[in-house]
Structure 1
Amino acid sequence: MLFERIVSEGLAHNSYIIGDEEKAAVIDPRRDCDIYLDIAARNNCTITHIFETHRNEDYVIGSPGLAHRCGAGIFHGAAMDFAYGNPVHEGDVFTFGSLSLQVLETPGHTEESISLVVRDQKSGRAPYLVFSGDTIFSGDIARTDFFGDARKEEMAKKIYDSITEKILSQGDGVILCPAHGAGSVCGGEIMDRPYTTVGYERATNPFLNIGRGAFVSARKMESHYTPPYFRTMERYNQDGAPLHHSPVLRMLTVSELEEFRHAGCQLLDIRAPADFAGGHIPKSISIWRGGISSFAGWFLNYKDPIILIDDFNQNIEQVVLQLFRMGYDNFAGIAAGGIMAWYKSGREIGTTGVCSVKKLNEQLDNSSPFVLDVRDIRNRRAVGHIRDSHHIYVGELPGHLHEIPTNQPVFVYCDAGFKAGIAASILAQNHYQGVTNVLGGMTAWKQAGFKIEH
């Protein structure tokens, strides 16, 4: 038997390959699909089936590209009109040697969501594994807010029934293999565990220890952020994304970079926030490496070419892959020689301020700065906030710039300083002067013992 989980860091996406007797299936593949072909080849298997548990919102589905490479059939839920592949229905069974995969229709996260029950005929007919897609996670369940407030109650009821009537009924010992792990935007508080079981979730998942009415009420009250790139992912994943291999970026000289900059390219600086603050190419946006998957989709468009800026351009291909998985294909290149080449050229350098929480506390005691909190609202409510601070979530900042004064210093904070670095770069792009990133953010403020308001 072949079984392997493939993790895409950043997006916290899990895909799987499973097979037996020289036939294999891939569940929820990512866009850069060489890894599935390599695994199949090492195990002397042919990929014959590709299953999509749902139309994803946070990354480009890899099924069309993988099918193009290996000739496998694509299968997905019947409740959505996909432009490719084949619809499946409740009870459909697919066999791979001694293994069988049975389809469960599990709507709620999306209308066409399915789960796949795995049985091994050598061990009897009892199920032992379920690919649960985005229906149930470890310690959490999927979002049900993608259809707007008018359908929140309806979708909450659907996902509750899908979980309790179909997945939990498989038996407590059954292993659950979800499509996302901790950090994914498709859940709220997903636990950092690679696998879980029906019994463990029944006993510990907070959403499964309440009745249907309380569950639906809780889901109706939930609030999530939806980055604008989700709309592009939905369109790509329903109609089929362009078939591209992972891009190989060319190195740009300083002169070429300057030319592209004036032509309207998007300059993405992936260094740490403090490094960006000390000196950057004007008009660039700061998103640190670890934040690409969570925040690039809020700020980067799909029309203008992207230029990557780093210190030493080490392992930059991982950043390219993360963007590629989110549908970004239009790259102009990488700044050759990193930011230092720009410094040495004598061209204009932009800066933003940084300070400690001690400095901000002194400013609040002695003057009237504008303090901007760019954390998500759940963090602000749970942890508290610095006095006199104004809240605008970092992803929504471009649409709320009119709320920020241009005639006084702006101190930006988040939980540690990374999201505040993004916000500071956006303000700098829009000609705000005197912008300061409070390094350490709320974590440092609390550690210093300064007053926290709720």
Structure 2
Amino acid sequence: MDGGTPTLLRKVKSEGLAHLSYFIGSEGQAAVIDPRRDCETYLDIARENDMVITHILETHRNEDYVTGSAELQALTGARILHGDLDFGYGATITDGREIELGSIVLRAISTPGHTPESMCYGIVDREGGLETVGAFTGDTLLVGGVGRTDLLGPENIEEMSAMQYDSIFGRLLPLGDGVVIFPAHGAGSVCGSNIASREDSTIGLEKAQNPWLQVGGKEEFIALKRNEMLERPYYFDRMEEVNLKGQPLLGRLPVAPPVRAEDVWRSYGDLAIVDVRSPTSYAASHIPGSISLPLEILPHYGGWIVPYDRPVLLVTDGQEQLAPSIRALVRTGYDDIWGHLQGGMVAWHAATLPTSSFPVWSASAIGERKDGDLFYLDIRMGKEWNEVRAPDAHHIFVGHLPSRIDEVPGDRDIVILCSTGMRGSLAASILKARGRSPINLLGGLTGWMRAGLPISYISM
């Protein structure tokens, strides 16, 4: 080791979910922290560095993706260790237990709060006088944020928030200002709010810059947590269950073979058709009833809308979109990927099969047509809605839209507002499939504001 730096520490980022996992090794031995399900990358790192993965460590029972611990264990024989919860695999690690990996030691630190069994792992440098030089902080301490505490329901938020405060202020911050933190999620994750875009930090930096660490005490921390207003995706319950019991082993990624347009049409009623093309391509022409999930938002919003009990057919703009779409679906538990539309929408049109479409507008078009016939629907998250909004808009978060469709009129044009138009395309696909007349506002509220249209800033 050099200056307290592990022999090898590699971050593995899963785009979209903003999930961060880690490979750490020394003197031929390695551990993986919070592995993802498509885990070949860890094997590649081990092979390239002549290391053997001996341990797999979970920081908590994850709720936004299917963990890859069992998958990686099947490929390596490594031992899985996790916090004190009745998992269907692995073994419980207790507070203070140490795992030796060559010249470094990983020390378990019990940090309940995000979940009751949450564990962090300090990186101890044996060659540097047993100094803690880093910590895998899971979803307990994030860069610029902390993990959500509502996973056990609103009735338990205060208790879980109190535990999280004690874990952060009593267990993690005393490790020292110079300790580098390695969280399990980055910006854009649904596992916390206002996570910073940078992924690297130290305890000292967090003490100075993280707003959650500037509170006046435990009661203020709990009060802020009580009013955090985070959406809880429906698929969290499914992820929690499979991550507790163990998901069936994947073995390898599904192939999603090409399927002719005519064969897709014959199976149309049995499929969940997921279209990952751009909002403009989808709006121009799409398969009726398909779900618009541009690749950029598929990892976050697929679990809200795509049913788990139907085979998935992918519609793409080309082969380059296929592999990342499959990975995004597999990471959130969609294993039954039936195939992809061979030749895309060009082939669908050539087969003269039914299509659907809806208009897209820019903010300037809104300025030219300010009349009472338009129904403005803001489909952003509640937290976004409570910060800034269009004055005449109605609010239904896109994830709740299928269950609240009766609140959307069927006799007016529906102008959909999100931040840029990506989520708007998803909302438009839901509305169109249910007989409404959507108009996706490209540029979303960002374009609305730049066009000088009326805006309301909400004081919270």
Q: Deviations over 1:239-291 (max 9, x none)?
A: 001101211111001111112213x2011111111111111111101110100
State the match for 1:157 in structure 2: 162
**Which of 441, 445, 448 is the equivalent residue of 2:444?**
441
State the match for 1:191 in structure 2: 196
Please state if 1:452 is matched with 2:455.
yes
Contact 2:230-2:383 within 8 A present in 1 as well = no
Letter of the 2:414 counterpart: V
Q: Deviations over 1:167-222 (max 9, x none)?
A: 00000001000011111110111111222101111111101111222111111111
1:18-97 mapped onto 2 (5 Å cutoff) = 18-78=24-84, 80-97=85-102
Please state if 1:122 is matched with 2:127.
yes
Q: In structure 2, how many angstroms separate the alpha carbons of the residues matched to 1:367 and 1:153?
A: 44
Letter of the 2:439 counterpart: T
Task: Tell me the SS of whatever aligns to 1:169.
Answer: helix
Contact 2:231-2:382 within 8 A present in 1 as well = no
State the match for 1:337 in structure 2: 343
Contact 2:277-2:293 within 8 A present in 1 as well = yes
| Between 324-333 and 368-377, the greater mean CA deviation after superposition | 368-377
Aligned length: 449
Contact 2:295-2:321 within 8 A present in 1 as well = no
Q: 1:356 Cα deviation (Å)?
A: 2.2
Please state if 1:274 is matched with 2:280.
yes
Task: Tell me the SS of whatever aligns to 2:401.
Answer: helix
Letter of the 2:28 counterpart: E
State the match for 1:222 in structure 2: 228
Q: In structure 1, how many angstroms separate the alpha carbons of the residues matched to 2:278 and 2:210?
A: 36
Q: Deviations over 1:397-433 (max 9, x none)?
A: 001001011122222121111111111100111122x
Task: Tell me the SS of whatever aligns to 2:81.
Answer: strand
Q: 1:150 Cα deviation (Å)?
A: 1.1
Contact 1:107-1:113 within 8 A present in 2 as well = yes
Please state if 1:260 is matched with 2:264.
no
Task: Tell me the SS of whatever aligns to 2:296.
Answer: helix
State the match for 2:309 in structure 1: 303
State the match for 1:248 in structure 2: 255
Q: 1:360 Cα deviation (Å)?
A: 2.5
Q: In structure 1, how many angstroms separate the alpha carbons of the residues matched to 2:324 and 2:444?
A: 27
TM-score, reference length from structure 2: 0.96
State the match for 2:407 in structure 1: 403
State the match for 2:144 in structure 1: 139
Contact 1:138-1:190 within 8 A present in 2 as well = yes
Q: 1:16 Cα deviation (Å)?
A: 0.7
Q: In structure 2, how many angstroms separate the alpha carbons of the residues matched to 1:435 and 1:93?
A: 57
Q: Give 5+ residue unaligned stretches, structure 2.
A: 1-6
State the match for 1:393 in structure 2: 397
Contact 1:360-1:411 within 8 A present in 2 as well = no
Q: In structure 1, how many angstroms separate the alpha carbons of the residues matched to 2:363 and 2:267?
A: 38
Q: In structure 1, how many angstroms separate the alpha carbons of the residues matched to 2:39 and 2:293?
A: 26
**Which of 420, 424, 437 is the equivalent residue of 1:420?**
424
Q: In structure 2, how many angstroms separate the alpha carbons of the residues matched to 1:315 and 1:438?
A: 24
Please state if 1:98 is matched with 2:98.
no
State the match for 1:375 in structure 2: 380
TM-score, reference length from structure 1: 0.97
Q: In structure 2, how many angstroms separate the alpha carbons of the residues matched to 1:449 and 1:22?
A: 60
Task: Tell me the SS of whatever aligns to 1:314.
Answer: helix
Please state if 1:319 is matched with 2:356.
no
Task: Tell me the SS of whatever aligns to 1:289.
Answer: coil
**Which of 222, 240, 243 is the equivalent residue of 1:237?**
243
Contact 2:162-2:222 within 8 A present in 1 as well = yes
| Between 344-353 and 164-173, the greater mean CA deviation after superposition | 344-353
Q: Deviations over 1:378-415 (max 9, x none)?
A: 22222232x32111011110010010111222221211
Q: In structure 2, how many angstroms separate the alpha carbons of the residues matched to 1:251 and 1:424?
A: 27
